[in-house]
Amino acid sequence: MRGGFSRDMDLAAFLRLLAAGWTLIRADALIPRELDDVLPPGVRTVARGLRLFSGRQARQGRPGERLARTLERLGPVAIKLGQVLSTRADIFGTVFASDLARLKDALPPFPLDQAKAEVERELGKPLADIFPVFGEAVGAASLAQAHRATMADGREVAVKILRPGIERRVAQDSATLLMAGGLIEALIPPARRLEPLAFAATVIRSLQLELDMRFEAAGAAELTEVMTRDGWMRAPQVVWDGVAKRVLTLEWVGGLPLSDPATLEVPGLDRKAIADNLIRAFLAQALDHGVFHADLHEGNLFVTPPSGIVAVDFGIVGRLAPETRRYLAEILYGFLTRDYPRVARAHFDAGYVPAHHDPDAFAQALRAVGEPVFGRAASELSMSRLLSLLFEITALFDMRLRPELVLLQKTMVTVEGVARRLWPDHDLWAAADPVVRRWIARELSPAARLKDFADEALRALRAIAGMAEAGAVSTVVVESARPSPGFAWFAAGAAVAGAAFLLARLLS
């Protein structure tokens, strides 16, 4: 065994990687012809040679569209990879990222009899005892499909069932993706700063969580509570009696699918208000509560006139730790006030930029990419573009991939795209204003700084107490049960120094 895989498994993964590469070559999606002008001469020659094997589909659509179609055919891991790649407009360009962001994974459903047998096996009861009425699939994706059903007590529900054998398929494709990440890291040094192996691991971990319906049920329940507090979006209640590892049951949600273009023409629908509510719901979840629905595309959204929104499919839940949210508050506030040294300090404090770099030079680089954005109309200023600014200078300052920020940016790009399709002239900043203003006031207020000071002081005192306890124990072993006077003076000095440091942080 090597790295968790046998030699046969490694060979199988390598062969699948070759097959995937061939599929990409046939679609001219591996090194697209549109890149010829920017490629080094040697790479351009190789790309043109590979293009001799491309098929008719290689002439259809933009590079992002060709890649999206190819990833759909390659399966669930490839689809997930494309969805994550769509977050990096700063690297691949806005049009390319937008084409990938529209990845759909609709597939033919597996047979109804097979779905019924799966539900009975997972829930351990005859189907008729749980769901007297169990209909055909109403939607099928690469990992699972959903059925409308009626419970014995009359409740209308949606039953989501994993595809048979999907775990094996995901495991095989995950091994292939890890091998691809390892090869990129080994053979293409400039790509190492993008952490290809960590990127692959992020995609795989996301899929692993989606393969256990109990995790999705827990995420749905948590987000239902969060959404109820703000009221900008709601989610269906979990029916826990119908939850197992491969089966999830939720109350049936009414509403019109946002994925249907006809929905936007329904009388009484306030498209602008829906766009506002979508932006506010996402920001409130992420910034106020630290947990957010991370897959808010049209296929997972239903609307009710005039402006109600219901979200479904909780397989991907994003989380932000309190300290990450504070750093983001500093970064966003610094950008909005054009205080680039402040943005730079926040990056260094968060560890996003290695300490050996010059904060002043980093602030200068931030100014270079930030200033062109300001002075534009609010409707032209993209929040996802502002987040992308943070990544545009990664090559110069060794910024590493941050999985939690990648998921946040991915969702922001998706939400912003949906809002603009709902209302092309939508003012994202005006919609976000009540949430962002509340967030900044809470995170950057004197009261917030005082709380941070108190928390840091408490941690310092606990550390000092631990040192004192350790000193007392060692003294018992050697001499007596009392710490030495020298240690007492050391502890007192550490306490004074710690308090002075924390007070300086508070006043800075």
- 145 has which bridge partners? 140, 161
Cα–Cα distance, 110 to 165 (Å, whole number): 11
In the chain, what is the straight-line distance between the N-terminal and C-terminal CA atoms, in Å?
54
- Given a contact cutoff of 8 angstroms between Cβ atoms, the answer to whether 64 and 100 are in contact is yes
3-class DSSP state of 263: helix
| Amino acid found at 108 | P
Check if the beta carbon of residue 190 is closer than 8 Å to that of residue 272.
no
Task: Give me the residues paired with residue 442 across strands.
Answer: none
* Beta-carbon count within 10 A of 87 CB: 26
Element (H, E) at 494: helix 485-507
Asked if residue 86 lies in contact with residue 100, where contact means CB atoms within 8 angstroms, the answer is yes
Q: Is 212 a catalytic residue?
A: no
Distance between CA atoms of residues 268 and 307, nearest Å: 9
- In the set 28, 90, 276, 295, the catalytic residue is 295
Q: What does the alpha-carbon distance between residue 301 and residue 137 come to, in Å, rounded to a whole number?
A: 18
**d(C-alpha 119, C-alpha 398), whole Å:** 49
Percent helix, strand and coil across the chain, each rounded to 5?
A: 65, 10, 25
Active-site annotation, residues? 295
